[in-house]
Structures are given as C-alpha cells and as structure tokens.
A = this chain, B = another copy of it.
Amino acid sequence: MSTLSVFMDVPLAHKLEGSLLKTYKQDDYPNKMFLAYRVCMTNEGHPWVSLVVQKTRLQISQDPSLNYEYLPTMGLKSFIQASLALLLGKNSQAIVENRVGGVHTVGDSGAFQLGVQFLRTWHKDARIVYIISSQKELHGLIFQDVGFTVYEYSIWDPKKLCMDPDILLNVVESKQIFPFFDIPCQGLYTSDLEEDTRILQYFVSQGFEFFCSQSLSKNFGIYDEGVGILVVVAVNNQQLLCVLSQLEGLAQALWLNPPNTGARIITSILCNPALLGEWKQSLKEVVENIMLTKEKVKEKLRLLGTPGSWGHITEQSGTHGYLGLNSQQVEYLVRKKHIYIPKNGQINFSCINANNINYITEGISEAVLLTEGSEMCLPKEKKP
C-alpha cells in the first residue's frame, strides 16, 4: 500500500470565520456568555421559532397528497412568488411590470455565491466590492474567493453613536455601483414588514437594477433548511429572463435542486391569510420583547451610574445593535467578564434575558468605568 498521499501538499486550513464562537466554546468559565449569535434567541436562550412554523410543519408531514420529488433548479415557484411579494409589496411597480424574478437558493450564502458567480462572468469590468463591515466575514469572503477586491465600510458612526447611511447612498445613486442588498430578517427590525424593506422600494422607484439576497430563515425560525432567494430586479422583462436563464445554468452546477421543506412551510404560511396573521403577530411579539430588553439595558446602565448617554441602544431597530463601546471596552468584557462580543461592539440583544441582564450590564458599566480611553466613545457626556 502506497503511503505517499495525493494530498501531501494540502495544509490544514486556518479557520477565519466563527473564531469568536470557537474561543467562547473553549472557555471553561461557568458563567461565560455569547452575545453574537446570528439568530434571534428566546428568553430561555434557544433559537426562536415562530409557533405557526411548528404547526405548519406537522400539517405538511401528515398530508398524503404531497410528493417529495426534486424541485426544479430555479426552485419552488410559489415560494419565490410569495417571497417576492413579501419583499417588495404585492403592488410593487417592478412586480406589476414583470421585471422582478428570483432563484430559490440554499440560504443567503447560496444567494451570494450565485450572485457573485454571475457578476464574475457578466460584469467583468467591476472588480471592487464595498461591503458593510458586519457582513464582511460572512459574505465578503465569497467575493474575495473569486477575485474581487473587497473594501468594508460602516454606516455606524462611533462618534455620533448613530447610523449614517448618507455617504453610501450618494455613491450608489451616481449609478457607478451595482447594489447587492442583503435582507436577512425582514420583519425582525420593526415588525412592520413594509417598513423593513423601504430601501428596496426606494431603489425600485428610482429605476435601479439590483440583486438582493432574501433570507427567510431568521424571520420564520427555520434555520436548518436553506430558505434563500437571489432576487433580480431588471429594467424590463426581457433582460430579466436573460439574467435568470444564466443564473439557472450556474445553479445547476452548484446544487442542481434547492431543498424543499423550509420553502414549503413558508409558502403555506404566506399564502394562507390566517397563518400569515399568526406569523405577523409572532414577529410583533419578538420585536416588542427585544425593545423591552433594550429599555431594561439602558435603564440598568443608568441606575449603575455608568458614564455616557445610552439612548442609542433604544434608537436602533432589530435584534442586532451597537453598544457603542470602544475596542478596549469590548476587550475588557471578553477577557475579564467572559462576555463574548464582536470587536465592533455590535451585539444580538435577544441574547440578553432575565437570567443574564444584571451580569451583562454590570460588566458593561465596569468596562466603561475602568478602561482607559473610555471617553472616546462618550462625547455627549464628557465632563469639563
């Protein structure tokens, strides 16, 4: 038997992604906490699942009329139609003009992979990508892998402690940039489904062409099934069909048939007014709960006498938001308090619950009080 390996030149890969989670898992401290999960968590610390999903899943598994045949490469048609109407609104100008389409993909990473392969082939002159910094690790690598140069930017202003998307919008509006949106959890920002995609409606109204990765994992609580769509908005139906036909060829090589279960559950919910109502109600409850958590965090920081104004916590929508801490304060929380937070200080507020809120807010307060340079991020409350 030969002992010389065909693979002898293949080294062990460095793991770039998930290193914070990896460090967290290796930490033996009993009260360690991870505040950077991608998904919405329940008060009990489990990934959230909309109750209507469980019910629908059971109904589907009991339905003898359903088949389990391969989906077409483009995916489940009714899923795509229902999801596009959800994303842009049923009366969207682009839908009425029949110039919006989508490919059912294996989650949002699949949507980015497919879109990137298309852009590499058909948009050859463009080789530079600007990506929002919080998405760089997850999606930026997909662009890098095929030869794009990736620059990151942030719309979070650490001085003013607020979002400032204006600079980006100005650049994009000059139409020198092709927009590739990411809508990872419509409905989990404000619980108003339309409000959460207002930016897309604006770009449609301005006549833009764009790609959008639409994920329905997080807002339904179906994480394990790859329920994504690569959305294409073109200037007319003819161009749309050309783009979709090329995407079909690329998807054939990638996975040939996307997975069905999650898409089937979501379609059943979106197409049934009663189930749709239950889903919307569940979103509302989640968003209200997150807002309540943020209020509590802000109030506790105030009661602890933490220097600084913490209004920016409740001014941000959605599960994820910036704490407004500088890198030393983040480092302090990770090292000294075993509270795992990304370097940019953007946390998942749904990871905070009645069991850990005191420990977390006391930790933040301590970090702000004890670290040097803490005034860097607290311009509003600077003492003379």
Contacts and interface: CB of A to CB of B under 8 A. Distances in A.
Interface of A: 1-13, 15, 17, 38-39, 46-47, 49, 57-58, 60-62, 67-71, 106-110, 113, 122-123, 138, 141-142, 145, 175, 178, 206-207, 209, 217, 221-226, 234-236, 239, 241-243, 245-246, 248-249, 252-262
Contacts of A61: 57-58, 60-62
Contacts of A223: 68-70, 257
Contacts of A138: 256
Contact of A235 (B3, B12, B57, B236): B3
Given A10-B242, A61-B61, A255-B110, A206 B261 contact: no
A267 to B, nearest CB: 13
Give the dominant DSSP class at A's interface.
Answer: loop
Contact of A69 (B2, B224, B236): B224
Contact of A122 (B10, B68, B107, B246): B10
B113 A254 contact: yes
Given A68-B47, A252-B109, A255-B109, A5 B226 contact: no
A36 to B, nearest CB: 14
A72 to B, nearest CB: 9
B260 A225 contact: yes
Contacts of A243: 7, 10
Nearest to A246: B13
A224 B7 contact: no
A39 B141 CA distance: 36
B259 A5 contact: no
A191 to B, nearest CB: 21
Given A242-B12, A260-B224, A5 B209 contact: yes
25 contacts: A2-B175, A5-B209, A5-B236, A10-B239, A12-B242, A12-B245, A13-B242, A38-B70, A47-B67, A47-B69, A57-B61, A58-B62, A61-B61, A69-B224, A70-B224, A106-B106, A106-B254, A109-B252, A109-B254, A225-B259, A225-B261, A226-B226, A226-B258, A259-B261, A259-B262
Best-surrounded residue of A17, A234, A235, A253 (most CB of chain B within 10 A):
A253
A141 to B, nearest CB: 6
